[in-house]
Amino acid sequence: MTPFVLQCGNPLLPITLTDVPLRNADAVPTDDDCSAIFSDIESAPEPRIIVLGDDASLAALLTRLMRTERLHVEVAFVPENATDAAHIYKLGTGSRAAKVALTGTASSTPLIRDDAGKAVVGRALLGGADGTDLEGEAYVDDTRLFSGVVPGVEVAPTADMPGLRARVVGRRRFLPRRWVSGRAMQLGSPAAELTRDGIAGGKAVKRSTFYRHHQEWLLVR
């Protein structure tokens, strides 16, 4: 195994990783940032990319690995602080996660993406336009998640099959509803705003689908 660090933004570099080849990138790595690390690992035997950053950093790298057909490359995640993805995949933070990144074993893990071809590793949130309630209908596989108007919907990957789960979320004073697990979540709405791993999606959409990609990714744990 040959490790390489992709340092996204300015997180602290754990001492364990100081002797590992390092490539700096934006907090959310650009296509150019990813191309640079791919060039670094091109001739390395059994390369392993260690992402030092947050959920959006990891999601951006996985998106690029997926689009360039490089999901055979092992990926480790070293968040500086606890994140949704760290919780889902039962990873540590800081120096503890760095040790696992160097000594852990990669295993096949469901990759969740949306119909825009972007990976999600922590959670995605769907709400109505301009902060309003979400109107429409959503299904997880054949199970109806909601029909009508709700405050919002949360979608999250799972570490094991079937790959994702989703639930209706309420206002702050209400508890979220139960999770529904499946391979895919489909939403139809007059106007929905999407946030993936803390990054707003931009313009409102009428349809949004999250689903398990046909190929898994190799997560080091």
Both 98 and 127 in one domain: the answer is no
Name every residue whose Cβ is closer than 8 Å to that of residue 70 and which is 6 or more positions away in sequence: 38, 64
Looking at the fold, whether 99 and 23 belong to one and the same domain comes out as yes
Nearest to 210 by CA among 111, 95, 109, 64: 111
Residue at which a domain ends, from 75, 110, 145? 110
pLDDT along the chain (221 residues), means of 10: 97 96 98 97 95 98 98 97 96 96 98 97 95 95 96 96 94 69 98 96 93 98 95
- Amino acid at site 137: E
User: How many domains does the chain divide into?
Assistant: 2
- β-pairing, 22-25 vs 2-8, is parallel
8 Å CB contact between 107 and 221? yes
Distance CA 94, CA 176 (A): 30
Q: Which domain holds residue 32?
A: 1-110
Question: CB-based contacts of 32: which residues, under 8 Å, 6+ apart?
Answer: none
3 and 97 fall within a common domain: yes
Residues 196 and 167 in one domain: yes
Local structure of 137: helix, strand or coil: strand
Q: Which of 110, 132, 159 is the last residue of a domain?
A: 110
Residue 17 belongs to domain with CATH number: 3.40.50.10330
| 103 φ/ψ angles, rounded to the nearest 5 degrees | -115, -10
- For the chain, the DSSP string reads -EEEEEEESS----GGGTTS-EEEE-SS--HHHHHHHHHHHTTSSSEEEEEEE-HHHHHHHHHHHHHTT-TTSEEEEEESS--HHHHHTT---HHHHHHHHHH--EEEE--EEETTS-EESS-EEEEEGGG--EEEEEEETTEEEEEEEESEEEEEE-SSTT-EEEEEE--TTS-----EEESEEEEEEEEEEEEETTEE--S-EEEEEEEE-SS-EEEE-
- In this predicted structure, what is the pLDDT of residue 176? 63
- pLDDT at position 14: 97
- Does 77 fall in a domain? yes
Task: Look at phi and psi of residue 149 and say left if phi exceeds 0, alpha if psi is from -120 to 50, else beta.
Answer: beta
Does residue 217 form part of some domain?
Answer: no
- Dihedral angle computed from the Cα positions of residues 172, 155, 84 and 103, in that order, rounded to the nearest 10 degrees: 170
| pLDDT at residue number 203 | 87
pLDDT value, residue 173 = 42
